[in-house]
Amino acid sequence: MTDETKKHGPDEAAETAENRAAGANQTAGAPAAEEAAPDPVEALRSENAELRDRFLRTAAEMENLRRRTERDVKDARSYSIAGFARDMLAVSDNLRRAIEAVPQELRESGDASFKALLEGVEMTERAMLTALERHGVRKIEPEGQKFDPNYHQAMFEVPNADVPNNTVVQVVQAGYVIGERVLRPAMVGVAKGGPKPASKEASSQAEPGAPNAQAERDA
């Protein structure tokens, strides 16, 4: 009989042995449990990276929203009077027609009251166009330029061999833009039958000093 059995009895001795064996098993399994546990530092790093990514995405979305809002506000300021400006251009056209309808001999007749009336109409037209210009409305000056369907409306063709084909040679009605948009295209007449404008591709391929096809055939 062992000393443990003598002190606690057979049952207590067996229980003590079992507890010791269980403790030994727990001690042996402790390192494995510690190895399986996740690293808290690595978990914090992963969480920090995820939060940083969310923050950058949110900041980018807010910046895009700010830019869109600024653009919308700018467009609203620039183009809010487009309809009103278009109506005012119709009034300006009528003033211009009235001025151009006055014969030159009548202008030079020396009638002071008539001259004062004509000058008043001209001043009214200039004041109206100046006011529209202050609000971003600008006149298109297409004469001598190449026809551009974005800004010009062709009304007729003029045979003219002295200028390149599709060049604006006459303006029937002035055109206007507001900001970057066309408020009213210019009604124009374009040249027909003149030399075609040299294309950029052809001019870039033709190197200075290079022999042309006719010279190569002659050689």
Beta-carbon contacts of residue 96 (< 8 Å; ≥ 6 apart): 125
Tell me the average pLDDT of the chain: 78
Q: How confident is the model at residue 187 (pLDDT cuts 50, 70, 90)?
A: very high
Is the per-residue pLDDT at 112 higher than 80? yes
What's the one-letter identity of residue 29? G
Which pTM was predicted? Answer: 0.56
Tell me the pLDDT tens digit for each residue of 152-174. Answer: 999 999 888 888 999 999 999 99
Contact criterion met (CB below 8 Å) for 158 and 190: yes
Across the strands, what pairs with 154?
188
User: What is 51-95 written as a DSSP string?
Assistant: HHHHHHHHHHHHHHHHHHHHHHHHHHHHHTTHHHHHHHHHHHHHH
For the chain, strand residue ranges (E) read: 137-140, 152-159, 168-173, 175-178, 181-184, 186-192
